[in-house]
């Protein structure tokens, strides 16, 4: 199968991003998928699945109704995916929540498509974009329908010892009272030291800075730092484990996370 030209890929991504960007604002850093994307996709025809488990061990005890306070919520998300070509992957999310009172909830679903530029020679950079649309119950998103534009930029040092990825995420509300608001800017990044074929250790950072051009006051922004360990390709398995600390009053104080992947 032939690869897309760079010019054609850029044009296609800008068109899709422009269609999504006419709508707006989301409510917080995504509690169901705490992950920084890299610039790879599943090989063509290859399925994969990830299980995300995120637990708000100590968190905010208030929320704007009908949303529920995140304190002591644990989120379970199944993320199946399949490679369509060597530059295109599609996937989805099936989300559930175990509430503080022991109630187990269906927490909505999302569809996504991820496009990457094929690597060029020995370039240390890789580029891509992930696009999502979501429909969640009101207790987890009062606007119900949302979307995400997630550009992806990665860098790997010569020799592969250092890996860095940056996702400048734009989050959107597609319905409800937030549909006319500006999109929200939620950057995410990771930097890891890689022990080839074994593991990597490092940090992940997530934030919600509020609507583009109408930034939240610093005390109302969300900022998190996670210390993470990644088990790399133990046969066909991947594991990401992290502990995260909130850095502002608007953030959850302590969050644990794990991603178990199989391809």
User: Does position 23 have pLDDT exceeding 80, yes or no?
Assistant: no
- State the DSSP H helix or E strand holding residue 6, giving kind and residue range, or none if neither: helix 6-20
Residues 41-97 have pLDDT tens digits of 999 999 999 999 999 999 999 998 999 999 999 999 999 999 999 999 999 999 999
Mean pLDDT lowest for which of 148-152, 181-185, 235-239, 258-262?
A: 235-239
Say what the pLDDT of residue 2 is: 41
Does some domain include residue 47? yes
Asked if residue 1 belongs to a domain, the reply is no
- The model's confidence at residue 20, banded by pLDDT at 50, 70 and 90, is very low
Residues of the chain above pLDDT 70, percent: 89
Q: Is the pLDDT of residue 234 over 80?
A: no
Dihedral sign of CA atoms 180, 29, 137, 38 in order? positive
Does pLDDT of 11 surpass 80?
A: no
Res. 112 pLDDT band, cuts 50 70 90: very high
Tell how many helices (H) and how many strands (E) occur in the chain. Answer: 1, 12
In terms of pLDDT, which residue wins out, 140 or 25?
140
Per-residue pLDDT, 72: 98
pLDDT in tens, 184-214: 999 999 999 999 889 999 999 999 999 999 9
Q: Please give the average per-residue pLDDT across 229-233, as a whole number.
A: 88
Mean of the per-residue pLDDT values of the chain: 90
Domain assignment present for 56: yes
* Span 60-74, pLDDT tens digits: 999 989 999 999 999
Residue 217: partners with Cβ closer than 8 Å, 6 or more residues away:
none
Mind listing the pLDDT tens digit for each residue in 135-163?
999 999 999 999 999 999 999 999 999 99
Please give the pLDDT value at position 10: 42
> How far is CA 59 from each of CA 102, 152, 203, 252, 253, rounded to the nearest angstrom?
17, 29, 20, 4, 5
Residue 70 lies in a domain: yes
Q: Identify whether the C-beta of residue 263 lies closer than 8 Å to the C-beta of residue 236.
A: yes
The arithmetic mean of pLDDT across residues 119-134, rounded, is: 94
* CB proximity list for 171: less than 8 A, separation 6 or greater: 25, 26, 30, 146, 147, 148, 183, 184, 185, 186, 208
Range of the domain at 43: 6-262
Position 232 scores a pLDDT of 81
- What is residue 263's predicted lDDT score, i.e. its pLDDT? 84
Number of domains in the chain: 1
Q: Tokens representing 11? A: 């044009």
- Rounded to two decimals, what is the model's pTM? 0.88
Domain with 199 in it: what CATH number?
A: 2.40.160.40
Does residue 207 fall inside a structural domain?
Answer: yes
Tell whether the model's pLDDT for residue 9 goes beyond 60.
Answer: no
Q: pLDDT at residue 17 above 80?
A: no
162 SS3 class:
strand
3-class DSSP assignment, residue 242: strand
């Amino acid at each position: 199968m032939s690869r897309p030209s760079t010019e054609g890929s850029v044009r296609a991504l800008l068109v899709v991003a422009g269609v999504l960007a006419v709508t707006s604002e989301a409510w917080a850093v995504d509690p169901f998928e705490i992950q920084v994307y890299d610039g790879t996709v599943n090989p063509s025809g290859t399925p994969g699945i990830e299980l995300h488990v995120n637990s708000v061990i100590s968190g905010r005890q208030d929320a704007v109704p009908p949303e529920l306070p995140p304190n002591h919520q644990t989120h379970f998300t199944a993320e199946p995916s399949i490679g369509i070509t060597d530059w295109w992957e599609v996937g989805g999310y099936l989300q559930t929540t175990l509430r503080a009172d022991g109630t187990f909830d269906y927490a909505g679903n999302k569809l996504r498509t991820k496009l990457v530029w094929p690597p060029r020679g020995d370039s240390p950079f890789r580029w891509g974009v992930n696009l999502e649309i979501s429909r969640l119950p009101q207790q987890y998103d009062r606007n119900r329908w949302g979307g995400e534009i997630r550009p992806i930029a990665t860098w790997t040092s010569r020799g592969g010892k250092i890996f860095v990825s940056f996702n400048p995420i734009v989050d959107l509300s597609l319905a409800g009272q937030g549909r006319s608001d500006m999109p929200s800017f939620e950057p995410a990044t990771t930097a890891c030291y890689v022990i080839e074929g074994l593991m990597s250790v490092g940090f992940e950072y997530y934030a919600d800075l509020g609507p583009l051009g109408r930034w939240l006051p610093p005390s109302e922004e969300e900022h998190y730092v996670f210390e993470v360990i990644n088990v790399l390709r133990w046969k066909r398995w991947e594991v990401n484990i992290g502990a995260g600390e909130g850095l502002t009053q608007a953030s959850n104080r302590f969050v644990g996370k794990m991603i178990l992947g199989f391809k």
